[in-house]
């Protein structure tokens, strides 16, 4: 397993692939996937459709230590932009690989770009195992909100 200070790869020996996406789906409008969607997607202009993508292998990491949001995405890839997925890819992952989302009140985080800004979206299971999604701006992600046992999903670059 891949070991880092903040992250432990829990999918190292698994082939997790996000199917090809046309880029037309956004998280803010994916009401079929989520029981709650933060209004910040619209308020902050994080509702831009993305580009089409080919099949994309990803890694899932579990967070080992309390950490700042901005640190978790720079550990697997020092170029943070390489940790980004499109919103359509994130929706596809949630739909097809839901079993990799962290249960038990913890969150799973993804990084994406919209209108030239970088955002972190987090998902957690609420009441009746319904999935809720929230959003924060990467540039303002200097608070220690990420807890041990949360997860992140990033493109596999190796």
pLDDT digits (tens, 9 = 90+) for 110-142: 999 999 899 999 999 987 888 999 998 887 665
Q: Are 150 and 107 in contact (CB under 8 A)?
A: yes
φ/ψ (deg, to 5) at 128 = 55, 30
What is the reported pTM?
0.91
pLDDT digits (tens, 9 = 90+) for 55-114: 999 999 998 877 777 777 776 666 788 889 999 999 999 999 999 999 888 899 999 999
Domain ranges across the chain: 7-155
**Which residues in the chain belong to E strands, given as ranges?**
7-9, 16-18, 36-37, 56-63, 107-114, 117-125, 131-137, 151-155
Tokens of 81: 């932009």
Tokens 């299971």 sit on residue: 125
């Amino acid at each position: 397993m891949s070991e880092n200070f903040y992250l432990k790869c829990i999918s190292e020996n698994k082939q997790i692939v996000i199917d090809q996406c046309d880029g037309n789906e956004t998280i803010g409008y994916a009401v079929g996937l989520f029981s709650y969607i933060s209004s910040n997607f619209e308020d902050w202009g994080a509702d831009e459709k993305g580009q089409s993508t080919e099949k994309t292998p990803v890694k899932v990491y579990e967070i080992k230590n309390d950490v700042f949001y901005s640190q978790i995405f720079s550990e697997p890839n020092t170029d943070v932009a390489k940790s980004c997925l499109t919103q359509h890819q994130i929706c596809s992952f949630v739909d097809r690989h839901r079993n990799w989302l962290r249960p038990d009140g913890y969150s799973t985080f993804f990084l994406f770009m919209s209108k030239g800004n970088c955002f972190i979206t987090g998902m957690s299971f609420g009441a009746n195992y319904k999935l809720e999604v929230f959003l924060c701006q990467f540039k303002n992600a200097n608070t220690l909100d990420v807890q041990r046992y949360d997860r992140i999903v990033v493109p596999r670059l190796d």
